[in-house]
Structure 1
Amino acid sequence: MTMHIALLPGDGIGPEVVAEGVKVLRAVAQRFALDLQLDEGLIGGAAIDQTGQPLPPETAALCEAADAVLLGAVGGPKWDDPLAPVRPEQGLLAIRKHLGLFANLRPVTIHPMLVDASPLRPERLEGVDLLVVRELTGGIYFGAKQLERDAAGEWASDLCHYHETEIVRVVRVAANLARTRHGKLTLVDKANVLETSRLWRRVTTRVMQEEFSDLSYDWMLVDACAMHLLRKPSDFDVIVTENMFGDILTDEASMLAGSMGMLPSASLGAGNKGLYEPIHGSAPDIAGQGRANPLATILSCALLLRHSLNQEAAARAVEAAVSAVIEAGCVTGDLARPDQRAQSTSAVGDAVVAQLV
């Protein structure tokens, strides 16, 4: 059976890291006798330049027909004007909405060889194995926006809106994942201030009591969570939270692993279809220089194999290959120790492939 994967390289370092992901997918297909068809589409700034739209209809149709989507990154200085009516980030938000991808999974683990790359002391990283499940299609990013001027000057408004149905479905995803891990779910909110957070806490508590009473469940205010992620990150198993809080906390959590270039993500909906991407941005300052870390993209390919293609053995093989490459010291400059020679983007991708064939 042919499995279709839509490739959306995007902008900046996106094409470079997606190219390494493609190498790995082709190697996996050969090793595990998978029939993969890879088709490329435009998104973000590259799409704006060629079509005038951040998500052309052709790309949306390609993704809709695919079994999974692999995305690089969007954005860059060329399109940075926040007042521009058309911006690259609109393409990313639109494809998530179009495919109904409401749960964003961001796992954080620490490879022993990369402990020194983290700004935290090694003893604080012992036992870290957490998963953040971020609600992806609601909240302030998608709420009504307003920019006006009155006699006193300009004013602006961004509406944070959530319905209990949006909360229930993402909490169920997070809780089911907690059942496969260490059995603990933590809700992160700001219930002492925000009405939306109070709704999150009521609904989550109800779902956990009625459907997941076998799990350990607690909650934490977002500011306290930000502190605790640095003080004792090993306390967390699965974190579930709203869109903006999840966006911020996972960037913070990336520093536990030493670099944003190490963290993959999966955006899932009601079925098996998902969108997979590294959590880092387009990094235009290093684009085209062969310095980008491709491991987050390659690990995103492992998540793609696991969650959308149901190829657990292939996913584990990719993760083991990445671990072996790190163990051998073949890493890009963001992870290299002073005594190590930094490798290029393609050299790291080739090393992962060599572990797979």
Structure 2
Amino acid sequence: MNHTPLIAILPGDGIGPEVTAEARRVLDALNLGLTFEDAPVGGAAYRVAGHPLPPDTLALAKRADAILFGAVGDPAFDGLERNLRPEQAILGLRRELALFANLRPAKIFPGLEDASALKPEIARAIDLMIIRELTGDVYFGEKGRRVTRKGLREGYDQMRYDEVEVARIARVGFETAMRRRRKLVSVDKANVLETSQLWRDVVNEVARDFPQVELAHMYVDNAAMQLVRAPGAFDTIVTGNLFGDILSDQASMCVGSIGMLPSASLDENGKGLYEPIHGSAPDIAGQGKANPCAAILSAAMMLRHSLGMAAAADRIDAAVSAALALGKRTADLGGDCSTQEMGDAVLAGL
């Protein structure tokens, strides 16, 4: 990258501003020559602009080389029309920026085995990557409400994928598996859903280009069971939007805390939006209790995937590990560190 990278910081709602601030502190400490611009998003944006994704925020996101995102969601706006609720901001960004590939790593950090709901010897083996398709499926298919011939209210959501969408995300899955342990599990529900049968057919077609990767197919209900029974057996998982949403959150609890997991949402050229997966957690917002590690690790993913700064990303990962190894923990991990104190520990680890 031969220009000064511009990072859009969209802190959002709830604990978003708190954890994003700690990620920004870590990036600043690395002196990487980045520039930053902030903009409101979600409920915070609705308060000032009457829309969760104002034109100025979207323009910044399009102009930036990468986006560091906090979280959206505010119970104060639950009564708004769906298209004006805070959560629509992230859906709008995915759609407008064509962010079709969501990467969610789930890896246990040494010393956190006891925080997992699983037995420590099972949790210790977790090191997987979930690739979730982000711009199709029931989230973006035709939806609505209607009245049946019997006069009953009915809701409907269309699950749909075309072969190009499936091949595109399948290729990301295979390419990711090639950089890892060359094992890919494609998750679907092909025994029931026609959409999933197409998914499976296309994944098999793409597999011909990656003979080095061991491919397996798994129904989503079985995948959910195996993630609890033997999560260490998984390396890379590729799946659709709905199934990926559920499985990636399940994987987060297998590693101990949703406050530890970052994510990347990428377009076809490697530009991405990076966010912790924990959501806005309005019940602890402003109290300094939030775990900033997921946001900090999201910043590391940003350096690695969008900015070509893998060495700096490795430094951040190592600093988080070092802080945890010293026993630094926020409340979600059974400790008493504040958000800023956890950030201080990571900075010390640098």
Q: Same fold (TM over 0.5)?
A: yes
What letter is aligned with 2:285? A
2:145·2:153 contact (CA, 8 Å) conserved in 1? yes
Q: Which residue of 1 aligns with 2:341?
A: 347
Shift of 1:214: 1.3
Higher deviation after alignment, 164-173 or 122-131: 122-131
C-alpha distance 175-84 of structure 1, shift in aligned 2 (>3 A): closer
Q: Which residue of 2 aligns with 1:156?
A: 155
Q: 1:198-235 deviations in whole A, cap 9, x for unaligned?
A: 010000011002x1111100010000000000000011
Higher deviation after alignment, 281-290 or 79-88: 79-88
Q: 1:244-300 deviations in whole A, cap 9, x for unaligned?
A: 100000110001110000000000111121000001110000000000000000000
Q: Name the CA distance, whole Å, in 1 between partners of 2:50 and 2:124.
A: 48
For the residue of structure 2 that corresponds to 1:140, the secondary structure is helix
Q: Which residue of 2 aligns with 1:13?
A: 15
For the residue of structure 2 that corresponds to 1:334, the secondary structure is helix
Number of aligned positions between the proteins = 347
Q: Which residue of 1 aligns with 2:239?
A: 241
Residue 116 of structure 1, aligned match among 110, 114, 117:
114
Shift of 1:84: 4.2
Q: TM-score, normalised by structure 2?
A: 0.97
What letter is aligned with 1:226? A
Q: Name the CA distance, whole Å, in 1 between partners of 2:338 and 2:137.
A: 39
Q: Which residue of 2 aligns with 1:267?
A: 265
Q: Name the CA distance, whole Å, in 2 between partners of 1:57 and 1:354.
A: 39
Shift of 1:83: 5.0
User: Mind listing any 5+ residue stretches in structure 2 that lack a counterpart?
Assistant: none
Q: Which residue of 2 aligns with 1:314?
A: 312
Q: Name the CA distance, whole Å, in 1 between partners of 2:229 and 2:142.
A: 36
For the residue of structure 1 that corresponds to 2:27, the secondary structure is helix
Residue 55 in 1 paired to residue 35 in 2?
no
C-alpha distance 121-173 of structure 1, shift in aligned 2 (>3 A): same
Q: Which residue of 2 aligns with 1:293?
A: 291
Q: Name the CA distance, whole Å, in 2 between partners of 1:98 and 1:114.
A: 38
Q: Name the CA distance, whole Å, in 2 between partners of 1:138 and 1:81.
A: 26
Q: Which residue of 1 aligns with 2:101?
A: 103
Q: Which residue of 2 aligns with 1:175?
A: 174
Q: Please provide the CA RMSD for this pair.
A: 1.1
For the residue of structure 2 that corresponds to 1:285, the secondary structure is helix
TM alignment of 1:57-136, pairs within 5 A:
57-81=55-79, 83-136=81-134
For the residue of structure 1 that corresponds to 2:268, the secondary structure is coil
Q: 1:4-56 deviations in whole A, cap 9, x for unaligned?
A: 0000000000000000010011012x2xxx21101001111111111111111
Shift of 1:353: 1.3
What letter is aligned with 1:277? E
Shift of 1:123: 1.8
Shift of 1:146: 1.3
For the residue of structure 1 that corresponds to 2:331, the secondary structure is coil
Shift of 1:127: 2.2
Residue 304 in 1 paired to residue 306 in 2?
no
What letter is aligned with 1:5? I
Q: Name the CA distance, whole Å, in 1 between partners of 2:163 and 2:25.
A: 42
For the residue of structure 1 that corresponds to 2:84, the secondary structure is coil
What letter is aligned with 1:21? A
Residue 138 of structure 1, aligned match among 126, 136, 139:
136
TM alignment of 1:189-338, pairs within 5 A:
189-209=188-208, 211-336=209-334
C-alpha distance 85-178 of structure 1, shift in aligned 2 (>3 A): closer
For the residue of structure 2 that corresponds to 1:278, the secondary structure is coil
What letter is aligned with 1:60? L
- Structure 1 residue ranges, 4+ long, deviating more than 4 angstroms after superposition: 82-85
Q: Name the CA distance, whole Å, in 2 between partners of 1:76 and 1:87.
A: 8
Shift of 1:153: 2.3
Q: Which residue of 1 aligns with 2:24?
A: 22
For the residue of structure 1 that corresponds to 2:275, the secondary structure is strand
For the residue of structure 2 that corresponds to 1:113, the secondary structure is coil
Q: 1:279-322 deviations in whole A, cap 9, x for unaligned?
A: 11100000000000000000000000000110010000000000
2:110·2:321 contact (CA, 8 Å) conserved in 1? no
Q: TM-score, normalised by structure 1?
A: 0.95
Residue 3 in 1 paired to residue 5 in 2?
yes
For the residue of structure 2 that corresponds to 1:148, the secondary structure is strand
Q: Name the CA distance, whole Å, in 2 between partners of 1:59 and 1:11.
A: 15
For the residue of structure 2 that corresponds to 1:2, the secondary structure is coil
Q: 1:299-351 deviations in whole A, cap 9, x for unaligned?
A: 00000000011001000000000000000111101112xxxx51000110111
